[in-house]
Structure 1
C-alpha cells in the first residue's frame, strides 16, 4: 500500500469508533493476503439505512482435495469494529455458482460460528479469514458452472456406428479451473478414429453391478497397449446393445448424483430458512415484550397525569382562598389524625409557652419589675410544669412508635 492510500484510509477511519485498532487489523490482513485490497463503498442495511464503510475484496487460498483454489470474498468492516462482527459475503464470478450450505446462503452471505460468537477486542480479521479457509476447505462455497451439454448418448448410438477400423486409446484429461468442479461422471478413455469419437464411461462401482439386457458377462475392458478393443464374448466384438446398456447405466448414475446434490442443496436452503424463521420469531417475541412494556408505562403515566391534575385543582382552590384574604383558623389549620397525636401537640405547645414565660420572667427580674423572691417562686413552678410536659411528650412518642 502506498503512502497516499494509507493516508486516505487513516482519514476515513476517523469516522470509526476505534480508528487505530481498525487500521492495525486491516493492515495486518492486507500484508498477509496480497490478493485482498480495500475499498470505501456504500453499504445498505436491512432496514434501508446506508453508510459508507471499508470493505476488503479479493480472493483467499483454499485447499480442497489436494488442489489450491482462490475463493472470491468481500468483508464489510462495521464502523463499530472490533465491537461488532463484520458482514462477510462470497462474490462469485460469472463462471461460478454459489453452493448453498449451512455456512453460505443463496445470496452469498457467510455464516460462521466465529462470526456468531464474535468477542469484542479479542476476535480479529486474521483469525476470521483463517476460519474461512478451514471451513471452505471442507465445504467449498462455489463451484464451476457446467460446460456446454455434450451430445446425448442415444444420439451417438442411433447416428454413429461403432468404428470398425483400428483405433488408438487416448486418456481423458479433466480441465482444471480456479475453483472446485461440480460432480461429473469420470471418463476413463476416449477412442479416436479417422471419422468419429465415442466416449466409454467407467465408474467407481463396477459396471457389472448394473443389469444389461442380453448380456451376462463382465463389462468389456480396454488395454492401452493394444489398438483394438476386446471383449470377453466369444465373438470378440462389442455390440450396440452392450454400449447402449452401459450408457443408460452411466446416465442413471449421473442423474442419481444430480438428485443427491440437489437434495443436499435444498436441505441447506431449508436450514437457512429455518434459521431465518427462528430469528424472526425471536424478534417477534422481543417486539411483543417492548409493546407490553410500552403499554404498562403508558398506563402508569396516564395515572400520574390524573393525580397531578387533581393536585393542581386543589392548589387552584387554595390560591383562590388566599386571593380572597379569607382568615385562617389556627386551630383548624393543623388537625392531628389521632388523639395521641393531639395530646402530643398540646403538650408541645404548652411546653413552648412555658419556656417563653420563663424567658420573660428573667427579663422582668433584669429590669427590676419583679423582685428575686417572686421570680424564684414562679420559675420553680414553671420548671416543674415544663418537666412534666416534656416527660408526657416522650411517653407519647414511645407509644406512637409502638403503634406503627
Structure 2
C-alpha cells in the first residue's frame, strides 16, 4: 500500500518553512554547506510529498562528544505492512551537518506503551537504525525518499516495536458526603453585584483590546513571514541558477584550456617548419648565382627523395582534378555538358582525388616524423 500524499496546503506551508530556515544567515544559520542547501530542501520536499505522516522540524541534536547543534529532522511515522495490516512506526530522521554527502542518522522513537524488540537485526536497544542503504550511501544519488521505502521494507520483514501490557488502574469508588451547601445570601448582595458588573465590563474591554492587539500583531507577523519566505524562495532559486552557471563556466574554461593546448601544439609544429625552411634557405642561398638564363620552370625543382617526389605528384594531381571539376561545373552551367555525363565524370574524378589526398596525408605524416627526428638529432648533437 502506497503512503498517503501530502495535501497542497500543507505542502505549501512546509515549503515556506524550509525556505525560511535554510535561508537564515549568521549565528542562527543551520550548519549545512551553502552549495547543498537547495538539494537538502528538495530531498525533504520529495519525502514529505510522498509520506504525509512525516514532518520537517528543527531541533537540538547532541553528538557523542557532548556537542549540541540545531539540525533539521523528519519526525513522524513510516508505514509498516505486516500480515495484511499497515502499522505506523514512529521514527526520527536527523540530517547531520555533512548531509547529503554522508547518510542521515535514523532513530526509532517508541511511544510510552511501546518497547523496542531485543534483539533486532536493524535496530539497536537505543533505537539507532542500521540499514545497508545507509552503509552504502552514495552522493548525490541516495536520498530520503528511497531511505523511507527501505525503512518500511525492513520493518515489514522484522517489526522493531511491540506494545507492552499496562496494568489496569483500579476504578475509583464513589465518595460519600461530597455535596456542598449553598451559602446564605449576603445583606450587601446588590452592591456586590453592581461592583462585579463594573469590574466585568472593564475586564471585557481589556480583553477585547488585548485580543485586537494580538490579532494585529499576528497579521503583521504573517505578512512579514510571507515576504521573508518569498525572498528566501527567490534566493534559493538564484542559488540554483548560480550553481548551473558555475558548471557552465567550468565547462567553458576546460574547453578553452584544451583549445590552448591544441594551439600550442600547432605553434610548435609551425616553429619546426620555420626552422626547417630557414636552414634550407641558408643552404641554397648561393645556388641562385649559377642558374642558367633559359631555365625550364618544370624542371627547376628536383625532388630530394621518393617521399618528396610522391608528395609533389599527389599535390599536382589533386590540384589538376580541382581545376577540371571547376571547368566541368562551368560547362554544365553553360549547357555545354549533359547532366548524366557531368555526374559520371564528377564521381570518377572525386574518387581519384580522394586517393591522391589520402596518399598525400600519409606522406606528410611520414615527412613530419622525419623532420622531428632530424631536429631532435641536431639538438642533442
Pairwise TM-score range, normalised by the shorter structure: 0.3 to 0.5
| Larger helix share, 1 or 2 | 2
Bigger-Rg structure (1/2):
1
TM-score, normalised relative to structure 1: 0.35
Larger relative contact order (C-alpha < 8 A, sep ≥ 6)? 2
